[in-house]
A and B are shown apart, each in its own frame.
Chain A
Amino acid sequence: MSYFSDIYNGIKTLLTGMSVTGGYFIRARKGSITQQYPDNRDTLKMFDRFRGEVVMPHDDHNEHHCTGCQKCEIACPNGSIEIVWDRQVDPETGKKKKMIDKHIYHLSMCTMCGLCIEACPTDAIVWAQNYENSVYDRALLTKVLNQPGSKVKAGIED
């Protein structure tokens, strides 16, 4: 006698499915999940975990966290990061110390794998939430992350 219970269960499950989609249909007016992208460019905010490009945040005194340890350069699987560094005398302590000259980041080669950011011991580089990164000149994609004249924040190596 499973014949009639099959019919009953079939109709019941079909109606359950239709009630779910019907609910979606009614609620669709309140808010669709579609972003009308070029129109809402001013208000569009990317979510926190979006991987736009790698940036190095600087504070108000033009200081960053990068000690020049080169862990990110080693971690990068395709050589998108190059660090030009130098040993200079630290004016405060009078000792010779490794300092970065340029933290060069090739956005054109980056696959957004995030291994450099995981490798960084001092959280000097982070993901930015920006988008629209395409440009007409390939050279513009090679970026120097540390700002000119910036220096490492004191005490970050301790």
Chain B
Amino acid sequence: MMNIPLNIVSTVHDWLFSIMPEGVATVTEWIIVAALYLALFAVIGLYLVLLERKVAAWFQLRLGPNRVGPWGIFQTIADALKLVSKEIYNPARVDGFLFKIAPYFVIVGALISMSVFPFSKQFQAFDINIGIFFLFSVSSIGVIGILLGGWASNNKFALIGAMRSGLQTISYELSVGLSLLTMVLLAGSLQLSEIIEVQRTGGWLILQGHIPAIIAFMIFMIAGTAETNRAPFDLVEAESELGAGFHTEYSGMQFAYFFLAEFINMFIISSIAVVLFFGGWLSPFGITEGITWFPEFLWFFIKVLIIIFLMMWFRWTFPRLRVDQLLTLEWKYLLPLNLVNLVIMAVVIWLNWTF
């Protein structure tokens, strides 16, 4: 059997290069890939919002959206259409320039990080050899957008929300970085496709690294939830305290960018977890290894959805932390445990105790 998606891609590639000069064809290909990723971005964002609302409803014994289309599957598309058609309103005393560019920082940061993920063996836009490092730096750009938005809004609630976001991201970035470092130590590479190749022979990294890997996974999930500003770490947009937090003054599509970026960030954190701990697009126990036509990205998305469900489960179970509790958790518990865990992982690898 042939690999159908790869076939389509190479056909389009050959066709483009046959009808136009090489330079133009390359640029056209870039634009097509960017458009594809934008479409993927919008679809993932919208359907994660729907999933969040459905899962939240089931946690609370409700039904969730069920009016627009069968089982409400067009609900978020209708919401997005409404937001597109709304006026983008600039309040009188905001800092106009910063206010307008802030949503783009958030959304561009999220979009760039999407490009490096290996959704399957061929479905990867940008296989860079410092993948994890690049991902980690780019996904931190988002907080600049949040800080800018909160500052430029000229609103007390927005400023408090943005400052909390800065504090939270600076603290929890450490834990995310150190837990990723623990896993990179085990994988021996920063390149995402390379990390998955390591897991093809030796099993998923969470099994290879056993105890330190499981601790790293727990710390990564806690810190990753904090990175995405989701409950129980949603002090940034604590509805009961700050109105809507940093995006209080935003309306229409600018608001939608912030809103979608939150869900895309959740997808990114889950994807990092899947690549580093659960073998990316590899099937569990290699059950579809021999089937060449099987779309491997399905495994990637199934695993990502499971991790996302875990994050939603956190959100609808735990109450919001206070600021001092947030900092205590990071600096007194997660950071020391993480440093010790890094040493344990190094010792495990040194003595060859990995599976």
Interface flag for B62 (CB, 8 Å) = yes
Interface flag for A32 (CB, 8 Å) = yes
| Chain-B contact segment, one of A13-21, A60-68, A87-95 | A13-21
A-chain residues with CB within 8 Å of residue B63 when the two chains form the complex: 32, 34, 36
B-chain residues with CB within 8 Å of residue A31 when the two chains form the complex: 61
Q: Return the chain A residue nearest B310 by Cβ.
A: A18
Q: Is A25's CB under 8 angstroms from B318's CB?
A: no
Q: Is A24's CB under 8 angstroms from B61's CB?
A: yes
Known A7-B333, A14-B318; contact A21-B62, beta-carbon cutoff 8 A: no
Q: A18 contacts which of B58, B317, B333 (Cβ < 8 Å)?
A: B317
| Interface residue ranges of A96-127 to B (CB < 8 Å) | none
Q: B307 → chain A, closest Cβ, in Å?
A: 15
Once the chains are docked, how many angstroms separate the CA of A7 from the CA of B63? Answer: 36
Q: Is B316's CB under 8 angstroms from A21's CB?
A: yes
Interface flag for A22 (CB, 8 Å) = yes
A-chain residues with CB within 8 Å of residue B318 when the two chains form the complex: 14, 17
Q: Is B313's CB under 8 angstroms from A28's CB?
A: no
| Interface residue ranges of A41-98 to B (CB < 8 Å) | none
Interface flag for A1 (CB, 8 Å) = no
A-chain residues with CB within 8 Å of residue B317 when the two chains form the complex: 14, 17-18, 20-21
Q: Return the chain A residue nearest B316 by Cβ.
A: A21
Q: B313 contacts which of A22, A29, A33, A36 (Cβ < 8 Å)?
A: A22
Once the chains are docked, how many angstroms separate the CA of A63 from the CA of B333? Answer: 76
Once the chains are docked, how many angstroms separate the CA of A73 from the CA of B55? Answer: 51
A-chain residues with CB within 8 Å of residue B314 when the two chains form the complex: 18
Q: Is B313's CB under 8 angstroms from A24's CB?
A: no
Q: Is B58's CB under 8 angstroms from A25's CB?
A: yes
Once the chains are docked, how many angstroms separate the CA of A82 from the CA of B55? Answer: 52
Q: B62 contacts which of A7, A14, A18, A32 (Cβ < 8 Å)?
A: A32
Of listed A7, A22, A31, A32, residue having the most chain B CB within 10 A: A32
Of listed A7, A21, A31, residue having the most chain B CB within 10 A: A21
Of listed B55, B57, B61, B333, residue having the most chain A CB within 10 A: B61
- Interface bracket on B: 10 to 19
Of listed B59, B314, B317, residue having the most chain A CB within 10 A: B317
B-chain residues with CB within 8 Å of residue A20 when the two chains form the complex: 317
A-chain residues with CB within 8 Å of residue B61 when the two chains form the complex: 24, 27-28, 31-34
Interface flag for B201 (CB, 8 Å) = no
Once the chains are docked, how many angstroms separate the CA of A32 from the CA of B64? Answer: 10
B-chain residues with CB within 8 Å of residue A22 when the two chains form the complex: 313
Contact with A along B155-198 (1 / 0, CB 8 A): 00000000000000000000000000000000000000000000
Q: B312 → chain A, closest Cβ, in Å?
A: 10
Once the chains are docked, how many angstroms separate the CA of A78 from the CA of B314? Answer: 50
B-chain residues with CB within 8 Å of residue A34 when the two chains form the complex: 61-63
Q: Is A33's CB under 8 angstroms from B62's CB?
A: yes
Q: Return the chain A residue nearest B332 by Cβ.
A: A3
| Interface residue ranges of B27-73 to A (CB < 8 Å) | 55, 57-63
Q: Return the chain B residue nearest A13 by Cβ.
A: B318
Q: A6 → chain B, closest Cβ, in Å?
A: 8
Q: Return the chain B residue nearest A22 by Cβ.
A: B313
A-chain residues with CB within 8 Å of residue B57 when the two chains form the complex: 28, 32
Q: A24 → chain B, closest Cβ, in Å?
A: 6
Q: Return the chain A residue nearest B313 by Cβ.
A: A18
Q: Is A24's CB under 8 angstroms from B60's CB?
A: yes
Known A14-B318, A18-B313, A18-B317; contact A28-B59, beta-carbon cutoff 8 A: yes
Q: Which 6 A-B pairs have the closest CB atoms?
A: A28-B58, A21-B317, A34-B63, A17-B317, A33-B61, A32-B61
> Can you list 12 A-B contacts with CB-CB less than 8 angstroms, sorted by A residue number?
A14-B317, A17-B317, A18-B314, A21-B316, A24-B59, A25-B55, A27-B61, A28-B62, A29-B58, A33-B61, A34-B62, A36-B63
Further contacts, 16 of them, CB under 8 A, given A17-B317, A27-B61, A33-B62 = A7-B333, A17-B318, A20-B317, A21-B313, A21-B317, A24-B59, A25-B55, A28-B58, A28-B59, A28-B61, A29-B58, A32-B57, A32-B62, A33-B61, A34-B62, A34-B63
